[in-house]
Amino acid sequence: MSTASEPSIVKPQTLIAADGLGKLFPGRSSWWGTTSSFVHAVQGVSLRVRRGETLGLVGESGCGKSTLGRLLLRLIEPSFGRVFFDGKEITHLSEGELRPLRRRMQIIFQDPYSSLNPRMTVREIIAEPLRIHKLVKNANEELERVSELLQKVGLRPEMMPRYPHEFSGGQRQRIGIARALAVEPDFIVCDEPISALDVSIQAQILNLLSDLQDSLGLSYLFISHDLNVVQHFAHRVAIMYLGHIVEQLPAQGMQMTARHPYTRALLSAVPAIDVGKRHLPVVLEGEVPSPLDPPPGCAFHPRCVRAIAGKCDTDVPPFEDVAPGHRLACFNPAPAGTIDLAP
Ligand X SMILES: Nc1ncnc2c1ncn2[C@@H]1O[C@H](COP(=O)(O)OP(=O)(O)OP(=O)(O)O)[C@@H](O)[C@H]1O
| Residues in touch with ligand X (CB under 6 A) | 25, 39, 41, 59, 61-67, 225, 291
Biggest CA-to-CA distance, the chain: 69
Q: Which is nearer to ligand X, 125 or 190 (CB)?
A: 190
Q: Write down the least CB distance from residue 172 to ligand X, Å.
A: 19
From ligand X, Mg ion, none, interface partner of 291 (C-beta below 5 to 8 A by class): ligand X
From ligand X, Mg ion, none, interface partner of 185 (C-beta below 5 to 8 A by class): none
From Mg ion, ligand X, none, interface partner of 41 (C-beta below 5 to 8 A by class): ligand X
Strand, coil or helix: 322: strand
Q: Which is nearer to ligand X, 74 or 123 (CB)?
A: 74
Q: Which is nearer to ligand X, 5 or 61 (CB)?
A: 61
- How far apart CA 306 and CA 166 sit, in angstroms, is 52
Q: Write down the least CB distance from residue 114 to ligand X, Å.
A: 13
Q: Which is nearer to ligand X, 147 or 224 (CB)?
A: 224
- How far apart CA 300 and CA 280 sit, in angstroms, is 21
Find, among 279, 271, 261, the residue nearest to 329 by Cα: 261
Residue type, 283: V
Q: Write down the least CB distance from residue 318 to ligand X, Å.
A: 23
Q: Write down the least CB distance from residue 40 to ligand X, Å.
A: 8
From Mg ion, ligand X, none, interface partner of 38 (C-beta below 5 to 8 A by class): none
User: 38 Cβ partners below 8 Å, 6+ apart?
Assistant: 24, 25, 26, 27, 292
Strand 187-191 relative to strand 219-224: parallel, antiparallel, unpaired? parallel
- How far apart CA 125 and CA 115 sit, in angstroms, is 10
User: 18 Cβ partners below 8 Å, 6+ apart?
Assistant: 45, 46, 47, 48, 68, 71, 72, 81, 82, 83, 84
Q: Which is nearer to Mg ion, 49 or 107 (CB)?
A: 107
User: Cβ of 29: how many Cβ atoms within 10 Å?
Assistant: 11
Q: Distances from the Cα of 52 to the Cαs of 49, 202, 215, 227, in angstroms?
A: 8, 22, 10, 21
Q: Write down the least CB distance from residue 158 to ligand X, Å.
A: 35
List, in sequence order, every residue forming a beta bridge with 235; answer none if it has no partner. Answer: none
Q: Write down the least CB distance from residue 5 to ligand X, Å.
A: 28
From Mg ion, ligand X, none, interface partner of 50 (C-beta below 5 to 8 A by class): none
From ligand X, Mg ion, none, interface partner of 295 (C-beta below 5 to 8 A by class): none
Q: Write down the least CB distance from residue 297 to ligand X, Å.
A: 20
175 backbone dihedrals φ, ψ, rounded to 5° = -65, -45
From Mg ion, ligand X, none, interface partner of 14 (C-beta below 5 to 8 A by class): none
Q: Which is nearer to ligand X, 39 or 190 (CB)?
A: 39
Q: Which is nearer to ligand X, 225 or 311 (CB)?
A: 225
From Mg ion, ligand X, none, interface partner of 102 (C-beta below 5 to 8 A by class): none
Residues that bind Mg ion (CB under 5 A): 66
Q: Which is nearer to ligand X, 23 or 264 (CB)?
A: 23
Q: Write down the least CB distance from residue 335 to Mg ion, Å.
A: 33
Which DSSP string corresponds to 158-222?
GGTT--GGGS-HHHHHHHHHHHHHTT--SEEEEESTTTTS-HHHHHHHHHHHHHHHHHHT-EEEE
